[in-house]
Chain A
């Protein structure tokens, strides 16, 4: 079974999660390039009717800000377990909501989090279908949907979102 993934749905999911859980209004923007330098990538993987992954990428400062808002505390000064856990939970919510929107019979993995400055995440057997940039006052963060080659392509969006494929 192949299931359509709509970029509009992905954008709605991300916007809903950020405003509900962190009181952060985010909006999709035209910023195709990924962050450079130190950053975090949190990912969840789906396996079943639909096979792919959802990743959230941001810089360290943003990750600490997200953790602070999620946990209602001052942002940690450095990336610690709370920050990694918070980023993983955000990816988990995005992936879980995406799975629900597709009504796919798929297993959602535990989130994984990468922290570093010189890496490229490659989901083996998958290709990037959509990379959405979201704008915040502090800068941008990115959400990427990857799917196995035999899954249907995402529906192209007619306006500001940019697919970097």
Chain B
């Protein structure tokens, strides 16, 4: 698995998967989880190169998920894709160990800019 994609919305998971391909990363394998708790289960067995997560999710928020990941000494790059991005929220995310935030709506180019430093050129 290259990317672990965490979002409660099936629609948004499909949109992000499509954007990843449109950004040129067609060969990457993407695994999905519907919330942070389910994603933590997946991280027990797999080590993705990148986590892309929604912020606002049931069961476990994206921020709580990030904190759990870092508490487990996992330093995997972690990006949020969220509909709400304020300065305080961005500061909180970054201080908690996030690598980047992408605000919805977003384009494949936005995703490419964020992914290239982590995954390399496509």
Contacts and interface: CB of A to CB of B under 8 A. Distances in A.
A108 interface: yes
B10 A81 contact: yes
Interface string B78-97: 00001111111000000000
A105 interface: yes
Interface of A is mostly: helix
A110 B34 CA distance: 14
Given A16-B105, A20-B106, A72-B18, A95 B83 contact: yes
B31 interface: no
B107 interface: yes
B14 interface: yes
* B9, B18, B85: most-surrounded residue (chain A CB, <10 A): B9
Contacts of B18: 72
Interface of B is mostly: loop
Contacts of A99: 84, 86
A97 B83 contact: yes
B84 A97 contact: yes
Nearest to B82: A96
Contacts of A97: 83-84, 103-104
26 contacts: A20-B107, A21-B104, A70-B11, A71-B11, A71-B15, A81-B10, A82-B11, A85-B9, A85-B10, A85-B11, A92-B83, A95-B83, A95-B84, A96-B56, A96-B82, A96-B83, A97-B83, A97-B84, A97-B103, A100-B84, A103-B86, A103-B87, A105-B88, A108-B83, A108-B84, A110-B58
* Closest 5 pairs (CB-CB, A-B): A96-B83, A96-B84, A20-B105, A85-B11, A93-B83
